[in-house]
Amino acid sequence: MNLASIPSPSTGVIELGPIPLRGYAFCIIIGVFVAVWIGNKRWVARGGKAGTVADIAVWAVPFGLVGGRLYHVITDYQLYFSEGQNWVDAFKIWEGGLGIWGAIALGAVGAWIGCRRRGIPLPAWADALAPGIAVAQAIGRWGNWFNQELYGRPTDLPWALEISEGPNRVAGTYHPTFLYESLWCIGVALLVIWADRRFKLGHGRAFALYVAAYCAGRAWIEYMRVDEAHHVLGLRLNVWTAIIVFALAVAYIVISARLRPGREEIVEQEKDDAAAGKADEKDDKKADAADAPEADATDGDPAKDTPEAGADDSDPLKKKDSAPEAADKS
């Protein structure tokens, strides 16, 4: 008998009048906003422009949602296309079912489109967003708690998760793998932030570190799960995926560090061009001022600007000499 356990919500939907507020969707939305907020702060700190992360996320998020759903439906096709199942359920994303591997892969395509339109390097943008993605996953995993899904083996530990009777599940207490992964993702975010500050990671290496660290945790958490899944050589498909992606991420970090060491000095050319344009404008003004002809020496001197006075008017001696001459003529 458990002395303590984590209760599951009795329902995953809160009715706000005619509008159903689904816990799973709410967690996903909150996660996206937090990821963009963290990414924006890191992007600005790298010298980027505020709002760029959100502009590119407009492309990345929809692509990521589609990719995540596609991965889930393809790898668990029996839940939707086997006998007795309704294929329409494949579109009911609010009922759960997003594969992080597909979300990251197709989300990267959307991010590439957004970055190309803004003229910024995708690796730098991904580095800025990496910790935010991990935090978003940590928040999103609580959506599985609302849906009472993705739990582990039965256990009587004090933090066991209570699962009620329902479709494809048996009442009992199980390992809260959603909680394990949520805490692991928080640790991954902190690791990436620390490593980025310590080693000045650039050219996509902060993002690759996030991927590698997440995969390391996902492999053993996935191994604990008891929900239906395909197996290859005795291991769940997602375990193999985590192992392969982990190896690729580590290889990228090593190769990238050799080929492109250091960090990008310029992450958003548009901002730097504007600054350079202002600097050039100032230089042009200075050059124009230097090339302007010097003012005439007489400019500004009233004494020199007036006509030269006649000699007779200015010499009193000559005035005296001219007086007798004037008398003789008279």
Residue-level pLDDT at 295:
46
| Whether the predicted pLDDT of 31 surpasses 90 | yes
| Whether the predicted pLDDT of 291 surpasses 80 | no
**64 sits in which H/E element:** helix 52-75
In sequence order, which ranges of 141-268 are alpha helices (DSSP H)? 142-147, 177-199, 205-224, 237-259
- What's the mean pLDDT in 68-72? 90
| Whether the predicted pLDDT of 274 surpasses 90 | no
In sequence order, which ranges of 263-315 are alpha helices (DSSP H)? 269-291, 302-305, 311-314
Tokens encoding 283: 């230089």
| Predicted structure pTM score | 0.78
Q: Give the whole-angstrom CA distance, residue 130 versus residue 42.
A: 10
Selected residue with higher pLDDT from 276 and 179: 179
Selected residue with higher pLDDT from 44 and 225: 44
The predicted-structure confidence for 203-218, as pLDDT tens digits, reads as follows 999 999 999 999 999 9
Cα torsion angle, 139, 242, 77, 178, sign: negative
